[in-house]
Amino acid sequence: MASYDRTLCVGGEWVPALSGETIEVRDPATGEVIGTSSVAGAADVDRAVVAAQEGFRRWNLLTADERCDILLRAAAIIDERTPAMAELLTREQGKPIPDSVKEISFGAQVIRYYAEQGRRVWGSMRPTSRADIRSLVTWEPLGVVAAIVPWNYPVDLYAWKIGPALAAGNSVVVKPPTEAPLAIAEFVQCFLDAGIPEGVLSDLPGAFAAGSRLSEHPDVAAITATASTATGQAIMRSAASTMKRVTLELGGHSPFIVLDDADIAEAATAAARRSFSNAGQICIAVNRILVAESIADEFAEAVIAEARAITLGHGVEAGITGGPVTTAAVIEKSRRHIAEALASGAVLGTGGKNAEVRDGLDAAMFFEPTVLDRVSADALVMHEETFGPLVAVHRFAAGTDVAELANRGDYGLAAYVYGNDLDRAWGVAERIHAGGVGVNINDVSELQAPFGGWKMSGFGRELGPEGLQGMMQQRHIRLRRRHA
């Protein structure tokens, strides 16, 4: 594969960073340099925001139908270019090609959904207390919206942010991750080729300086970010100075509850998929499994078998179902959680070490899917997000309030409940403190429903009509008629 070297997209023009700084992008599976990316600083953010202000005016000269047409063209171009983008995404981020294809395809679906939703924004005439008064309530765009995108699902979450923002009539300045900025560059080019006006979309890979400037910039009306809780807190502090709107999807620590009447094979397969997909680098990954003691032995064996069945390797190769981690820090944290749990009495079911891989791959970036059994409720892994290929199994006794057990901790992004008695499973689900709960399903994301967290997992919602409303504001015009 030829080296892919990208610059910054400032208002629709590809230009180098003002500082001239670049960073190498490496394939985590091999350590090979596959490209470079310009790295934005505060000055690059400033010029992108200036372009975005003018772009906002251009974008709003178009009708909702005209904006819809451009976004639909962009989605169609994304569909055409998905195979090439998927290989690029796998080489920079690590997930297997089928998962990269799924990610990019869903991103295109998100753009199509919001393209149409943008045509369905309407106001209303409200009742008034006087015959000569009329009250009109309308939805209006915010202006310049900033977005911060993480490296675990860079294309997918990019679409989640720019789709509703653009459909609502805003211009957008995005800071994608420097760890995985290449497929995103191709994604952005699809919008440029679709005819999005100059200034409407800017893309600036960068680190702390760029993100900090976006969150504090006086001409940025809102910021939406998927990030760690610590980063979200920093964004809130910085954004407070200008009272900009903030949407944050932050860390998670998802419980997976297996009731004593659950289908063990089905639950084990679902838990393993949600634990180890993308090497566990998912905000809604299963971190801790809470399983009824009466079925725990059989369930643990089933989950261990699922983990061992994952075929690790380079994601571009056929038959590979698990790739490398994206950053070395993921393995470091996994090792720390494993050691602490074992020291407190847990049992290693499988994994716990770097995987053996074929020659030519970087073994330091491959970690065996790991299952810890008989984990204490007080273990670190039961409270702190690992964000890696590790899941802890905790056994609960009959009579335990499992919803209360699941609610322990600071996070509330997602949770899962498996059981054949739907009345009972539903009752548990309704008591869980999380933004999304899956009952007999291991995914809480749905394009037409809101996604977001409670507690330290953030606030605001993406996807669904709520995602579009989060990118708009209401105006009330109260008019007195002079003549009856």
SS3 track for 46-98: HHHHHHHHHHHHHHCCCCHHHHHHHHHHHHHHHHHHHHHHHHHHHHHHCCCHH
Give one DSSP letter per residue of 99-126, joined into a string.
HHHHHHHHHHHHHHHHHHHGGG---EEE
**Residue type (1 letter), 283:** C
Those residues whose C-beta lies under 8 Å from the C-beta of residue 191, and which sit 6 or more positions away, are 70, 74, 201
Catalytic choice (68, 186, 283, 306):
283
> Sign of the C-alpha dihedral, residues 176, 464, 246, 383?
negative
For residue 93, which of 188, 183, 206 has the smallest C-alpha distance?
183
295, 398 contact by CB (below 8 A): no
Using alpha carbons only, give the angle 297, 303, 309 rounded to the nearest 5 degrees: 135
Catalytic choice (179, 186, 249, 368):
249
286, 416 contact by CB (below 8 A): yes
Known active-site residue 249: yes
Report the C-alpha gap between 85 and 391 in whole angstroms: 31
Known active-site residue 68: no
Those residues whose C-beta lies under 8 Å from the C-beta of residue 155, and which sit 6 or more positions away, are 85, 89, 103, 104, 107, 183, 184, 187
Provide the 3-class DSSP secondary structure of residue 475.
strand
Q: Where are the beta strands (DSSP E) in 155-270?
A: 171-175, 201-203, 222-226, 245-249, 254-258
For residue 110, which of 144, 72, 136 has the smallest C-alpha distance?
72
Report the C-alpha gap between 422 and 255 in whole angstroms: 18
User: What's the length of the chain?
Assistant: 484
Report the C-alpha gap between 282 and 27 in whole angstroms: 19
How far are the Cα atoms of 32, 42, 184 from residue 38, in angstroms, in the given order? 18, 13, 13
Residue identified by tokens 């976006």 is 214
Report the C-alpha gap between 396 and 391 in whole angstroms: 16
Half-sphere exposure of residue 413, counting CA atoms within 13 Å on the CB side?
25
Residues labelled catalytic: 249, 283
